[in-house]
Structure 1
Amino acid sequence: MPQAVLALGSNIPPAKENIDRAVQALSALGTVKEVAPYIVSKPEGFAEQADFVNTVLILSTPYQPLPLLKKLKELERRLGRTPTFKNGPRVIDLDILFYDDQIVFEDDDQYPLFVPHPR
């Protein structure tokens, strides 16, 4: 089964618990293989907000990259993420960093996808 490396981040309290909930919910999309220790990082782009709690994990999943991204965006909404502004505060942020050894470029207006992740 393909493996995706996902980045998770939150800076709206309770940030650590938001990530814990996301990790649990991701099991519906495959098997969570490994979760890195959580770290705290400064926000980028818009500095006037709380620090982020971040982690990465490996997800073994039957979903191909674009369907996986769509599922991740649905999960973000279910966990309480609402649209704000670019680089703004968020309850949860889920990104695909890597997907096996694939290079993916989907310049879709609603679901742009670049793997490996450019940032």
Structure 2
Amino acid sequence: MNISYISIGSNIGDRLHHLKEAVRALHSHGQIKATKVSSIYETAPVGYTEQADFLNLVVRVETSLDPHELLAACQNVENSLGRVRDIRWGPRTVDLDILLFNNDNIEAENLIVPHPRMGERAFVLVPLLEIAPTIGHPVTGIPFAVTDDDGVVLWKKPEGVEQLLFGE
């Protein structure tokens, strides 16, 4: 079984609903099981800043899919929830990024793992380290650390995967 960590963010419409639906869609896939979910954090946008704040979380999944199949499943979830790619780093109903896949180092045209910018993004590292506090970079082995969590605000702490999947 493969272990992957996926970052999920939303800043359009009912952000919490989009996050929940994304986790539910992953979990309901026949070959993906959500096993841990972080708290939900609110953060200011990065890159293109003329947009609403994001809600972000990280989910740990177990999957029999290979990394490219998991990427396709994530993109299907985005599409099913109305993701439109107009502006790089622009507003979106939902965004799913594969952060880590086992201890693999993948450099393909459409997939780079570990995610190339995760180490500089507190909105990714804070929730990742909440559910995997000792996880390190698969190539260097150096543990990930948050040097500045400025602007990453705890928004809601679900009581586990079940509450996010089945709770209100």
TM-score (norm 1): 0.94
1:34 aligns with 36
After TM superposition, the structure 1 = structure 2 runs for residues 76-91 of structure 1, keeping only pairs within 5 Å, are 76-91=78-93
1:116 aligns with 114
Amino acid aligned to 2:39: P
Structure 1: runs of 5 or more not aligned = none
CA distance in 2, matches of 1:69, 1:91: 18
After TM superposition, the structure 1 = structure 2 runs for residues 1-119 of structure 1, keeping only pairs within 5 Å, are 1-27=1-27, 28=29, 29-107=31-109, 112-119=110-117
CA distance in 2, matches of 1:2, 1:81: 26
Deviation at 1:83, TM superposition (A): 2.0
CA distance in 2, matches of 1:85, 1:118: 19
CA RMSD of aligned residues (A): 0.8
DSSP 3-state at the match of 1:6? strand
CA distance in 1, matches of 2:83, 2:48: 17
The C-alpha deviation readout for 1:27-54, integer Å capped at 9, x for no partner, is 1141100000000011011111000000
Q: Which has the larger radius of gyration?
A: 2
DSSP 3-state at the match of 1:57? strand
The C-alpha deviation readout for 1:48-72, integer Å capped at 9, x for no partner, is 1000000001010111111110111
Structure 2: runs of 5 or more not aligned = 118-168
TM-score (norm 2): 0.67
Amino acid aligned to 1:36: S
